[in-house]
Amino acid sequence: MIIAIDGGVASGKSAVGRRVAEHLGLPFIDSGLMYRAITRLAKERGIDAHDADALSKLAADTDIKIEAERVWADGTELTPVIFDSDFADALPIVSATPGVRDALVEKQRRTGDQGVVMAGRDIGTVVFPGADHKFFLTASLGEKVRRRKAQYERRGEQVDEEAMRREVELRDRVDSERVIAPLKPADDAVIIDTDDLSVDHVVAQILVDIEDTVGGE
């Protein structure tokens, strides 16, 4: 079974996807960690965010491993620095690079050979257009900022709320407007507004939908 859970920044897709995967006994992959890993490596190696050729080669040549919330690149764990803000500006640029997306989509598809719950921005539209179940999570800008700020504070980082608002708004706009694999729900995705729902409620709604669909086949 392949389950695609898409959504913008801080829509809850990773937290929800992880719980759904646990319930169903499937592996969970947060595809966004792959793009973060490549962007992080590019910064460490001095590769400019606009150097499409170098970025595409880096994405194709790097072995990325993801287990739950941990991520490794060529055997080196990047988990402690994967959400650092020093490469936040470069992330949407790197993520929109066609060669990077091609390389990482291929890696993502290989992880789904035996079934997977995958969260991202283009899972139901590009990575697994034939997924058994597709969901698209939405949230208001204010709620996204609140969640994102809480994520950083849990890691001990203090953030400027207005700067965070600009970052979240920019990332979603860039992702939605890019030519390659834009952020949008698949035509057959179930859209869930998560503003007034806890993670548990969203998970329960998804599991009910999956069970109803399977039961009706």
Amino acid residing at 135: F
Amino acid residing at 16: V
Give pLDDT tens digits for 182-209: 999 999 999 999 999 999 999 999 999 9
Between 141-154 and 161-177, two packed helices, what is the crossing angle to 10 degrees? 120
Give pLDDT tens digits for 88-139: 889 999 999 999 999 999 999 998 878 999 999 999 999 999 999 999 999 9
In this prediction, residue 141 carries a pLDDT of 94
| Residue 96 φ then ψ, to 5° | -90, 0
The span from the CA of 202 to the CA of 199, in Å, is 5
The secondary structure of 6-74 as a DSSP string is EESTTSSHHHHHHHHHHHHT--EEETHHHHHHHHHHHHHTT--TT-HHHHHHHHHH--EEEETTEEEET
In this prediction, residue 72 carries a pLDDT of 98
Amino acid residing at 69: E
Judged against a pLDDT cut of 90, whether residue 217 lies above it is answered with no
**pLDDT > 70: what percent of the chain?**
98
Judged against a pLDDT cut of 80, whether residue 215 lies above it is answered with no
In this prediction, residue 189 carries a pLDDT of 98
Domains of the chain: 2-193 (3.40.50.300)
The span from the CA of 59 to the CA of 105, in Å, is 10
